[in-house]
Chain A
Amino acid sequence: MFETVSKIVAAFLTLSIFSFLYKDNPFYKFAEALLVGVSMGYAIPLVYENVFLPYVYTPIFLSHKFIIIIPAILGSLYMFRFSKNLGWLARYPIVFGMGIVGMGVPMSIHSSVLVQMRSAMLPIDGINTALIFIGTVTILLYFFFSKAHKGIYGKFTNVGVWFMMIGFGASFGYTVMARVSLLIGRIQFLLGDCLGLIK
């Protein structure tokens, strides 16, 4: 009984969302509004239990690490984000959390630039490595904005465009697969979990 009702509710809400395909309608609007509310409401107790209690309450009130009061006060300044006059106070917690971007600079240069450069310099030992080399260089040149695409240079950078198009084609193909997979999942739910038709 309990299970059946749970499934009916879930199936009903699923179908409400699907009804958007027909047109925007109150069922969809209802489901969407509910989703927004429930998602946010869901986060509150979870954050309280998993974050607030162990990282704020326990250190201050139980471990007596009173220094943690400072970041806790900093954190509570978030509340002023929407205030007209005191909005500037919210900058402190934001700024504090953002300090870590400093680490992002060398680290992302390291892994998305230098490591990639190394792999782009592999010895050419066949047609494929040659193609990867040409492709990488021409596309990089295509996005080099300090020289006009004219003459032979223009033709050269144009090669990059073709490489990109094939690359985008690959993304395209995979995206189609991703979208279909999600639908498959939902239909597996409706047919399998709710109706028990899939074994």
Chain B
Amino acid sequence: MKRQIPLIIIMTLGFMFVAHSFIPHKISADFFDWFQDWVKAISPFAVSLGVISLFMVNGTKISRKVPNWQYSVITLAGLVFTALAGFIWGTQSGTPYMWLFENVQMPMSATMFALLAFYIASAAYKAFRARSAQATVLLLAAIIVMLGQVPLGAMISKWIPETSKWILNVPNLAAKRAIMIGVGLGMTATSLKILLGIERTYLGGGD
């Protein structure tokens, strides 16, 4: 029962939505409005999932005193402090809450991925190898595209940006289109399996 009812709900709703995408009628639009209102009311609670799991993971670390547990304290303190700052002083610009965002969260999350530039450079030097004919073609195409992006490429030869454009518009287009059709079918199959009640992993474990 604990599985059946959710499955019935999703199958019913799912098929109603399949129908909705073909029916423009007012009734169908009203159904969507109803759904929209309900989902809007459900959605804020989803954030609790993230918060609870963060507390659980870090809480366990702290209580078990695993190595580096102190950092978990920092995480939780950061969470509580930021959230409280938002509730106490408001969320307008100029408040401590926005200060935290602008000077703590923003620079750090921006930097996190900036690290990748270094990694890719070191991988370029140490790992990107023309280890087969195919990999060679790949690297050559990559080099042309890279040159085609910067003014220098056009300075070397006007054919570099042209070739780069051709690579993107012809072989790349064919490749990505074929892959996309495959991926599209795969994704649709997954959605279909959910609708048909065949795929149930999203329900989580248990009975």
In-complex A–B contact (CB below 8 Å): yes
Give the interface of A toward B (CB within 8 A): 6-7, 9-11, 13-14, 16-18, 20-21, 29-49, 51-52, 55-56, 59, 68, 70-72, 74-79, 81-82, 87-88, 90-109, 112-113, 116-117, 119-120, 128, 131-137, 139-140, 143, 160-177, 179-180, 182-183, 185-186, 189
Contacts of A87 in B (CB 8 A): 204-206
Q: Within the assembled complex, what's the spacing in Å between the Cα atoms of A161 and B17?
A: 38
Contacts of A40 in B (CB 8 A): 50-51, 54, 79
Report yes or no: A71 in contact with B170, Cβ–Cβ below 8 A: no
Report yes or no: B118 in contact with A36, Cβ–Cβ below 8 A: no
B155 interfacial contact with A, CB 8 Å: no
Contacts of B2 in A (CB 8 A): 88, 91
Q: Which of B42, B111, B172, B184 contacts A93 (CB 8 A)?
A: B42
How many of B's residues come within 8 Å of A, CB to CB? 123
Minimal Cβ-Cβ distance residue in B for A181: B117
B63 interfacial contact with A, CB 8 Å: no
Contacts of A79 in B (CB 8 A): 45, 48, 52
Report yes or no: B138 in contact with A165, Cβ–Cβ below 8 A: yes
Q: Within the assembled complex, what's the spacing in Å between the Cα atoms of A195 and B133?
A: 47
With A41-B78, A42-B100, A173-B141 already in contact, the answer to whether A167 and B176 are too (CB < 8 A) is yes
Report yes or no: A166 in contact with B177, Cβ–Cβ below 8 A: no
Q: Whole-angstrom distance from the CB of A73 to the nearest CB of chain B? A: 9
With A75-B43, A173-B146, A176-B146 already in contact, the answer to whether A136 and B174 are too (CB < 8 A) is yes
Report yes or no: A91 in contact with B103, Cβ–Cβ below 8 A: no
Contacts of B17 in A (CB 8 A): 99-103
Minimal Cβ-Cβ distance residue in A for B19: A102
Q: How many A-B residue pairs have CB under 8 A?
A: 395
Residue-wise, chain B 166-201 has the 8 Å CB interface mask toward A (1 for contact) of 111111111111111111110110011011000000
B29 interfacial contact with A, CB 8 Å: no
Q: Which of B52, B108, B124, B179 contacts A82 (CB 8 A)?
A: B52
Report yes or no: A21 in contact with B118, Cβ–Cβ below 8 A: yes
8 contacts between A and B (CB under 8 A): A13-B111, A68-B37, A71-B42, A97-B42, A99-B9, A99-B16, A132-B173, A169-B144
Minimal Cβ-Cβ distance residue in B for A43: B47
Report yes or no: A140 in contact with B178, Cβ–Cβ below 8 A: yes
Contacts of B174 in A (CB 8 A): 131-136, 139, 163, 167
Contacts of B159 in A (CB 8 A): none
Minimal Cβ-Cβ distance residue in B for A92: B6
Contacts of B194 in A (CB 8 A): 98, 101
B127 interfacial contact with A, CB 8 Å: no
Residue-wise, chain B 73-88 has the 8 Å CB interface mask toward A (1 for contact) of 0111111111100110
Q: Whole-angstrom distance from the CB of B141 to the nearest CB of chain A? A: 3
Minimal Cβ-Cβ distance residue in B for A60: B41
Contacts of B66 in A (CB 8 A): none
Q: Whole-angstrom distance from the CB of A164 to the nearest CB of chain B? A: 5
Report yes or no: B188 in contact with A74, Cβ–Cβ below 8 A: no
With A13-B104, A169-B145, A173-B141 already in contact, the answer to whether A128 and B170 are too (CB < 8 A) is yes
Contacts of A35 in B (CB 8 A): 78, 104-105, 108-109, 112
Q: Whole-angstrom distance from the CB of A52 to the nearest CB of chain B? A: 4
Q: Within the assembled complex, what's the spacing in Å between the Cα atoms of A167 and B173?
A: 7
Contacts of A180 in B (CB 8 A): 117, 120
Q: Whole-angstrom distance from the CB of B177 to the nearest CB of chain A? A: 5
Contacts of A78 in B (CB 8 A): 45-46, 48-49
Report yes or no: A135 in contact with B170, Cβ–Cβ below 8 A: yes
Q: Whole-angstrom distance from the CB of B161 to the nearest CB of chain A? A: 12
With A99-B35, A108-B184 already in contact, the answer to whether A30 and B74 are too (CB < 8 A) is yes
Q: Which 8 A-B pairs have the closest CB atoms?
A: A169-B141, A37-B78, A135-B174, A45-B86, A167-B175, A99-B13, A41-B82, A173-B145
